[in-house]
Amino acid sequence: MSAVRYGQLFRLDGRRVAVVGGAGGIGREAVRALVAQGAEVLVADRHAEGAAETARLANADEAAPGAMPGTARAVTLDVLDESAVTAAAADWGTLDGLVVTVGVNVRKRISDYSMEEFDRVVALNLRAHFGLVRAFAPAMAERGRGSVVSLASMRAFQVEPGQGVYAASKAGLVQLLRTAAAEWGPSGLRFNAVAPGVVRTPLTDQIAADPAWYDAYAQASALKRWARADEIAGAVVYLVSDASTFVTGSVLTVDGGWTAVDGRYDPSV
């Protein structure tokens, strides 16, 4: 008979998790979901006020009946400052989970891109994740367990004009995590990506401001709508928790069916 306590699979009581990029959007909702499952969460972001507000919201949320919530605490971190990341790895102690949600997009066609814009997108979407993995993974692996989750995108696999650098950086992130999964797997450390579809966050303000563009994106998915940031949080909890102990080197796509049905035609037959 299995000794697994299925009622506890998603609980994170006593676990320490850092959410980097937790000041808003998907990062904020991930913090709230993790705290609700009992985790002690460090809300790390360059924007101190946003991180503090996330911690306040998470600590104010009501727990499920009979369950104890965790706690959230804001810390300041610039992920592009290598010395700051190294210091954080020492100061925060060993983590059970690391969730990285930082990212940026500059929507321009390749011929219109500047090298400065290219560097900015790749720095935040790929280099920052690399630096965090390099800083935190060794101690987690030495402990013999842990889960690292990064936010990729469906654009790692499915593109459109104007998404070239963003898509390339997200595809690179997926391959980085798969390689990390191979290198640290024998030590019990897991690496996975969550690939959202279109989510209403500050990152998509440009699209939301154009009604035709906004509606076109809504119609492209099977569910015919955009995602809310909180609809991505469950995937993060799953990958951090013991519900996914045999999941590593994987990409969990949360896109409302976009990649399944995009470009379809419904004939009247």
CA atoms within 13 A on the CB side of 29: 16
166 is catalytic: yes
- Report, in angstroms and rounded to the nearest whole number, the Rg of the chain calculated over CA atoms: 19
β-partners of residue 17 are 41, 97
Sheet holding 40-45, edge to edge: 71-76, 40-45, 16-20, 97-100, 146-151, 189-196, 250-254
Helices (H), the chain: 25-36, 48-60, 82-91, 115-122, 128-143, 164-184, 205-208, 211-219, 230-240, 258-261
101: amino acid identity, one letter? T
Burial class (CB in 10 A: 0-12, 13-18, 19+), 114: exposed
Euclidean distance between CA atoms 237 and 13, whole angstroms: 12
Which of 6, 166, 238, 265 is catalytic? The answer is 166
Residues assigned a catalytic role: 166
